[in-house]
Amino acid sequence: MGEAERPARRRERLPARRGTASGVWRWRGSPLCRPTDRVEAWVALAAVVLIAFVAPVAGLTAGVRTDASLQREVRLQHAQRHGTTAVVLKSARELRTGGEEAGSGYPGPATVLASWTAYDGSRHTGRTTTLRRVAEPGDTFPLWTDDRGRIVNRPVDAAAARARAALTGFGAAVLVAALAHSGRRLVVRRLTRQRYELLDRTWAKVGPEWGRTGAGG
């Protein structure tokens, strides 16, 4: 047998390294394992299960349910709200409020007098706002109305609703994980306090006799 083969055979005879789980399992039978150690281990295991499994499931469930609810609302809004084109009749300069030009010096949407055709074919006229900062008579801009021609907000987009549902699911998962982690920390803090209290009581009994050990007293 060559010298090169001996280290290999020695390595083959070495026992396999035990994993962390095996070490924890053997630790439970040790006389040094306190009841609080067992409680802390079970609490840590519960926290791991909550964070690794329950939190994702809770987030997924919340996200799916929120998305289903929002998608129903999206379909309802798209069925009840209709896009049309409004025509500017009077610009913001021609509309005066309190003696000042409406929208003067204001960088946001301009308020104009416009006319539009409703979904049922009826004609409507009224004041509304347009995203165009400068809107002159004859200009057109998109507008959303209900079945009766009343101005409403733009319906929610399906992608935006899906993104909101995803954020809701993510928030639910983070909340469950945070609660699990916080609960574990509170329990560990309580267990640590109990250990110190037990140590103080034990030392109160043993401490006075400590210096007399081996003194022949």
| Rounded mean pLDDT, 1-13 | 47
What confidence score (pLDDT) does residue 119 get?
87
With b meaning 16 or more CB within 10 Å and e meaning fewer, what string describes 6-22?
Answer: eeeeeeeeeeeeeeeee
More confident position, 104 or 160: 160
For 37-72, what is each residue's pLDDT tens digit? 788 888 888 999 999 999 999 999 999 999 999 999
Report yes or no: 78 and 147 within 8 Å, Cβ to Cβ: no
Residue 5 has pLDDT above 80, yes or no: no
Q: What are the extents of the domains in the chain? A: 33-75+158-203, 82-145
Which tokens go with 124? Answer: 């409507």
What does the mean pLDDT of the chain come to? 79
50 Cβ contact list (under 8 Å, min separation 6): 176, 177, 179, 180
Which tokens go with 115? Answer: 């006319």
Reported as a pLDDT band with limits 50, 70 and 90, residue 211 is low
For 131-178, what is each residue's pLDDT tens digit? 777 778 888 889 999 988 899 999 999 999 999 999 999 999 999 999
| Rounded mean pLDDT, 82-107 | 66
Q: State the pTM of this model.
A: 0.66
What confidence score (pLDDT) does residue 56 get?
95
In DSSP notation, 33-95 reads --HHHHHHHHHHHHHHHIIIIIHHHHHHHHHHHHHHHHHHHHHHHHHH-EEEEEEEEE-TTT-
Supply the angle between the helices 55-80 and 158-210 in degrees, to the nearest 10. Answer: 160
| Rounded mean pLDDT, 4-30 | 49
Among 85, 148, 153, 144, which Cα is nearest to 114's? 85
Give the number of C-alpha atoms closer than 13 A to the C-alpha of residue 11, restricted to the C-beta side: 5
Reported as a pLDDT band with limits 50, 70 and 90, residue 8 is very low
